[in-house]
Amino acid sequence: MARLRSLILTLAAIIGAFCIVVFGVSLVFGLKPQIVVSGSMEPTISTGSLLMAKEVSAAEIEVGDVVTLDRPNNGGLVTHRVTSVEQQHTNWEITMRGDANAADDPFPYTVRTAGKIVATIPWVGYLAGVFRTPFGITGIAVFAAALLVTFLWRPAERSDDASR
């Protein structure tokens, strides 16, 4: 039982430390974590990766950068490589293409800011994605309850204490 407790505690500590590091780095450096949900950037960025994006002025974006932008009409986010950047008055038109795609995205994105990708953590996005679902939240609650039961309930030690 002691080995199981040690294993559970170690696992919880690793997950907790990772979450604290990601949160701290995000807060200190102004980064936003994002999860890759498609293979359009394969093999450079794998599906299920966790990306860290820094919000920058569109004037700082260069051809070849990988950036995240909002799709028009609340269509979600897209993360692709920049193929062209043109200034249009106070806005910028950015054309992008996924590394796995044969052609540029069908339309340029008109923006003032963009999320420039500064770090990629492969596979961690799958785990982060699960924690954003009702199943994942329930799993966290069950895991926390299991930790409490495992570490607070010690019938063997109590029976030893009672026999003294």
pLDDT-wise least confident of 46-60, 103-117, 126-140: 126-140
Residue 159 reports pLDDT greater than 60: no
Residue 27's domain spans which residues? 2-152
Q: Is residue 160 in some structural domain?
A: no
* C-alpha–C-alpha distance, residues 36 and 47, integer Å: 5
Residue 155 reports pLDDT greater than 70: no
Q: Is residue 38 in some structural domain?
A: yes
CATH number of the domain encompassing residue 30 = 2.10.109.10
Domain count, the chain: 1
DSSP string, 34-81: EE--SSTTTTTS-TTPEEEEEEEEGGG--TT-EEEEEPGGG--EEEEE
